[in-house]
Structure 1
Amino acid sequence: MPWLLSSQVEHLSSSPSQRQCERTSFSFYCAVREQLPVWLLEDMRSMEVFSWEDGRPRTFLPSEALLYALVHDHQSYARFLLSEYLVSSLRPLRCSFCCCHGSTAPHFTVAVRYNRVSILGMMLEALKDCPVQDFLDNRGGCSHAADAGKTAVQLAVELSRPDCLLLLLVHGAPPSGLDAALQRLVSSDITDRRSAQRCLDFLLLFLPEPPAMCCLQDESHRWQSLLGNDVFSWLCGLAPPPLLLQALRCLARCGPDQITALPDFLHGGRFENVNIYMHHVSLREV
């Protein structure tokens, strides 16, 4: 399957029945890729597509179909699966390459890796009446998964996916990965730095109390230039959080639309930009 490591392609089927299951699965994968209508895909999944498990074929699961929809951004099919099967469309899957059974639920990390913001929002909305934390904290325990050991938040930071990150944080995902966000900001080229900056800013908005990062003082001039004086002093434990940062935290917790509704130059900019904006607002009100 496309979200597994390439080394798994070497796994060879051992029987004609198993190979037939793989052929039907691949045909279904291609049908989703071609964005065929939802009704036709569901007919295929329920009657024609099979997966191999414990030495026998079984019906293709909605959770497996949702992964295909994620990979190919088939939003209407993803919406149908989530509305029709609810949490069962996000159920953990069995890894066919080891002994892990029901240990991996890669939907959130797949959504982040492919930057499927719309479908990620659908999944989070489908879990609004369920214990969503179990899904957000999932690290994918099976070592065969490409993103094993990483939460969706950590992957969003690593890949600089700010829109995915904001959705996850607003819905209660722990704001982990500050060190990675800082390193990503340093290592990104000029074209990716905006996204890396936005990821860092979103983490700062949701961190209850950031760890004192005295190591930043070793290269103080560099980090002050990247972070701005106020945020730099806060992360070094030399000053309280900026007042406007605290105000923006309240705004961020109301939903992602509240942040994205801000003027463009505030999206992912340093918090000094917020100071400039608020200063202009106050001058207009005088």
Structure 2
Amino acid sequence: MQKSHKIHHKTTEDNRRHQLRTAFSFYCSVRERLPVWLLEDMRCMEVFCWDDGHPRAFLPSEALLYALIHDHQDYAQYLLNRYSVSALRAPRCSYCCCRGSGAPHLNIAVRYDRLVILGMMMAALKNCGEQTKRQDYLDSCGGCSHVADAGKSAVQLAVELSHADCLLLLLVEGARPDGLDAALQRLVSCDVSKRHHAQRCLDYLLLFLPKPPLLQRLQDEPQRWQSLLGNKVFSWLQGVAPPPLLLQALRSLVQFGADRISLLPDFLQLHSW
């Protein structure tokens, strides 16, 4: 009986090691950007991940995470075309095995600055149906507590990392313009080499901000912020003046697409107000 138990235990461990090897091989295959048809054959028939002590095939949402990390745009496009919003479902956490929550694909796209795939995801979200569900997904701050970006929305993460192009795309698609205070802090604390991107993030938030919140840092150091932001923007954020005319005009323009602003001449760019 004891010998039989040992044999069973060894078999289980051998199976687990085999699944880990095949899972890693799938990860490497996506990293090497193998053809889509080959990756799908592997995902559906050859490689497995370990779930509650049992092997199973990788889900489309798990494959999309790999495609995001390694910028395999063709594979990401296939998964989103084939599985639509189901490919954006949060998979179960591999560490604590809790039910997936939040929008990990959005956060991964922002963290790795995968602008092209993020655009594909935004297009897939338009098939979501209910506007409320789409909005909840865009503004989601879920995720397990041990995950690096837990508690942060994709917009907040884009501000933190100064990924301005990702931020603009999210805002154009309707994500809530959170993170103004963090954007101001980022502007004065980041390296000089990243200040241009931090300034763009701040400008984009201002562009989509319906009503500026009262921020204590502006009250504490008015001269400093008035110098950094300019009189018009500072007065608007303080609630003593309307938004600058250029900002109001650009708000109308950006509704036709995120690329409209970049096509403007320099003297009409956001930093000109």
For normalisation by structure 1, the TM-score amounts to 0.86
The DSSP-based 3-state class of the residue aligned with 2:192 is coil
Contact 1:140 1:150 in 2 (8 A): yes
Q: Report Cα offsets for 1:210-250 as digits up to 9, x if no partner.
A: 11335314322321221111001111122111122111111
CA distance in 2, matches of 1:265, 1:60: 50
What displacement does 1:87 show? 1.0
Matched, 1:19 2:17: yes
Counterpart selection for 2:42 from 36, 41, 44? 44
CA distance in 2, matches of 1:103, 1:220: 40
What displacement does 1:141 show? 2.8
Counterpart selection for 1:200 from 196, 199, 202? 202
What displacement does 1:262 show? 1.6
Counterpart selection for 1:224 from 201, 223, 226? 226
CA distance in 2, matches of 1:104, 1:128: 18
Contact 1:75 1:118 in 2 (8 A): yes
The DSSP-based 3-state class of the residue aligned with 1:15 is helix
Q: Tell me which stretches of 4 or more aligned residues in structure 1 moved more than 3 Å.
A: 264-267
CA distance in 1, matches of 2:236, 2:189: 22
Question: Which position in structure 2 is the counterpart of 1:236?
Answer: 238
- Deviates most, 223-232 or 146-155: 223-232
Question: Which position in structure 1 is the counterpart of 2:106?
Answer: 108
Q: Report Cα offsets for 1:161-215 as digits up to 9, x if no partner.
A: 1000001001110000000000000111221011000000000111110113353
Question: Which position in structure 1 is the counterpart of 2:61?
Answer: 63
Question: Which position in structure 2 is the counterpart of 1:161?
Answer: 163
Matched positions, count: 258
Change (3 A) 1:264 1:59: farther
Higher helix residue share:
2
Question: Which position in structure 2 is the counterpart of 1:9?
Answer: none
CA distance in 2, matches of 1:242, 1:266: 12
Residue identity matched to 1:151: S
Question: Which position in structure 2 is the counterpart of 1:245?
Answer: 247
CA distance in 1, matches of 2:188, 2:103: 32
Contact 2:155 2:179 in 1 (8 A): yes
What displacement does 1:27 show? 0.7
| Aligned-residue identity in percent | 69
CA distance in 1, matches of 2:18, 2:140: 32
Matched, 1:148 2:146: no
What displacement does 1:51 show? 1.1
CA distance in 2, matches of 1:74, 1:265: 37
CA distance in 2, matches of 1:203, 1:104: 22
For normalisation by structure 2, the TM-score amounts to 0.89
Runs of 5+ unmatched residues, structure 1: 1-13, 273-286
- Deviates most, 41-50 or 176-185: 41-50
When the two chains are superposed, the root-mean-square deviation of aligned CA atoms in Å is: 1.6
Contact 1:228 1:270 in 2 (8 A): no
Q: Report Cα offsets for 1:53-89 as digits up to 9, x if no partner.
A: 1210011111111011100111111001100111111
The DSSP-based 3-state class of the residue aligned with 2:99 is coil
Residue identity matched to 2:33: Q
What displacement does 1:270 show? 2.1
CA distance in 2, matches of 1:17, 1:105: 32
CA distance in 2, matches of 1:33, 1:54: 26
Residue identity matched to 2:271: R
The DSSP-based 3-state class of the residue aligned with 1:270 is helix
Q: Report Cα offsets for 1:91-136 as digits up to 9, x if no partner.
A: 1211132252132440000000000000000001011121321321
Contact 1:170 1:253 in 2 (8 A): yes
Change (3 A) 1:147 1:215: closer
CA distance in 2, matches of 1:120, 1:157: 16
What displacement does 1:15 show? 2.8
- Deviates most, 158-167 or 31-40: 31-40
